[in-house]
Amino acid sequence: MSNDPINLATYLEGADFPATGGELAGVAASNGAPDDLLKQLRSFEGDHFDNANAVVEALGDKRS
């Protein structure tokens, strides 16, 4: 699954935090993330994340 924390860390490699969902989607796209993850990250455009763990939590909350 693309929301696996290990995969997510790979897709977010090189991201500068804090970052918005849109900024993270750009980094993830550059790192070959799948379209479903890019769509989820873009849905957080107005949100700011302090670190990758916050992204994992937000994605987990969105799936609930």
Report whether 52 contacts 7 (CB < 8 A). Answer: no
Cα–Cα separations (whole angstroms), residue 28 to 5, 7, 19, 55, 63: 13, 10, 12, 12, 19
Which of 42, 47, 56 minimizes the C-alpha distance to 1? 56
Please check whether residue 12 is in contact with residue 31, taking contact to mean a CB–CB distance below 8 angstroms.
Answer: yes
Backbone angles phi, psi at 31, to 5 degrees: -95, 10
Per-residue pLDDT of the chain (64 residues; tens, 9 = 90+): 446 778 899 999 999 999 999 999 999 999 999 999 999 999 998 999 999 999 999 998 876 5
Q: What is the pTM of this model?
A: 0.87
